[in-house]
Amino acid sequence: MRRAVIAAAVLTASVAVTLTPVTSSAAAPYKGANTAAVQDDFNGDGYRDLAVGAPNAANGSVEEAGAVVVLYGSKSSVSPTRRTVITQATTGIPGDPEAWDEFGRTVSSADLDRDGYADLIVGVPHENVGGVDARGMVTVVWGGPSGLKGGASIAPPARFGEGRTYCRFGLSLATGDMNGDGAPELGIGSDCEASSYSGPFTRTGRAASHYRESRVNSRGVVMGDVNGDGRAERFWLAGATTGDLRGPVKLDTGAPDPEDYSANWPADLPYADGHAGQIGDVNGDGYGDLVTAIAEDDYNTGEAAAHKGGEIQVLYGSAQGISAAQKPKVFHQDTAGVPGGAEWGDRFGQSLSVGDVNKDGYADVLVGSPDEAVGTRVRAGTAVLLRGSATGLTAAKAAGYTQDTTDVPGAVETGDAFGQAVHLADLNGDGRAETVVAAPTENNDGCLWIARGSASGPVLKGSVNLCGKSAGITVRGVKGYFGAALTSPHVER
């Protein structure tokens, strides 16, 4: 079994816009970013930052060129007054803003060059490359004491997607240190093959090594430490396949051997399913647990897919990792205690995030259900928080949130898609994760709901609604989709 330091991942202006100086106040940033303190801290000030993809944002007159907004964390959490807006027109960023590129369709972060500052990783899966439609690309933007500046492209491995179009390289992103050298590895999913990179990276985007894992499909990728050895394991998620709409899950066991194609063959987890996932310690035993989501039910197919409305699964880590014999614990909206009711097409599990909202030592799980109806308003969306405990994930004290929930700002409307992306991260340094829920089709730009954590969970009173225009994106004839991607995973269709 491959092992590796947890860094679980494992989503407009013509120049980068920084409204407030973001110089570092940290005495000396940690060298080697595989800790939560560094993974999302782009300017090294000791606070995690929030990267928000707005893939349909315009760039000048160019529709759907895409943008990423980085909101810098602080003692008072994030604010649109402390931000940087990055596009393919930003100085030093590879590529050109073109219609329908959707820069920012996925986002992630890690200290790829091991300088002590997190780097922003941006998926552009719809980018046409070399005349090949939607071949896709991945861009890294370098962190530093003044924030994000300059970038490079991460090229697909040799022979990637040979003879194929619409591979959508960058469809998913995950990072973690698999070999314990302090430099994160990077896994990239696509509609074609899996791609693996070992750090550290140079400022040209070149990895120390890389390979193409042609033996598995990999629309999703998850990385984190599930056996407690301080090194991340990697799981490849193929998404819905012919004969398995629930989506197979495979454990990476090493690079292909050119002399023996069967060597290091990825290990099947036959009872596990999922299209996206993340790792965190839900039961507080020191081992990461794998949480996966299947948002697609079988309403339109008649084949076995997710439980009606969607579901999530939990596989618990141990000193032996996650075994092929382990059966997952399953949660859906027909599970006792889970808010709401399971209905066809709700897409419960479209997004998920794992983090500790109340500092009790157990990671909680936030689940988005963006197609859930709220009253008569279809696709208004909801988010559900399930609690971690010594016995594992539980529906006890579970809570559901919509824009009709008291003290949640905004107004519930048809088609807002609240829950399309979700994220749990400590943005103010108090040890409790903020709750972030995106409604990317709210208004014509998209919005985020952000609530600080507390001993009793998310604090709704005083929580904020932050929308794309106020955060600096440009919107023309197409909705901007601010919040369509956060660094926690979501299911890309």
pLDDT at 395: 97
pLDDT at 1: 33
Regions in the chain scoring below 70 on pLDDT = 1-38, 299-304
Question: How many CB atoms neighbour CB 133 within 10 A?
Answer: 13
Amino acid at 425: A
pLDDT at 11: 28
The 3 state secondary structure assigned to 143-206 is CCCCCCCCEEEECCCCCCCCCCCCCCECCEEEEECCCCCCCCEEEEECCCEEEEEECCCCCCCC
Residue with tokens 């590529």: 95
**What is the tens place of the pLDDT at every residue in 209-231?**
999 999 988 899 999 999 999 89
Judge if the upstream peptide bond of residue 200 is cis by omega within 30 degrees of 0.
yes
* Coil/strand/helix, residue 353: strand
pTM, full prediction:
0.92
First-residue to last-residue Cα distance in the chain? 31
What is the C-alpha separation between 185 and 209, in angstroms, rounded? Answer: 10
Beta pairing partners, 195: 188, 212
What is the C-alpha separation between 9 and 489, in angstroms, rounded? Answer: 7
What is the C-alpha separation between 272 and 394, in angstroms, rounded? Answer: 19
**What is the tens place of the pLDDT at every residue in 274-296?**
999 999 999 999 999 999 999 98
pLDDT at 437: 98
What is the C-alpha separation between 302 and 344, in angstroms, rounded? Answer: 12
Q: Give the burial string for 171-186 (b: 16+ CB within 10 Å, else e).
A: bbbbbbbbeebbbbbb
CB contact at 8 A, 404 and 374: yes
* Strands 382-387 and 394-401, sheet pairing: antiparallel
What is the C-alpha separation between 167 and 79, in angstroms, rounded? Answer: 36
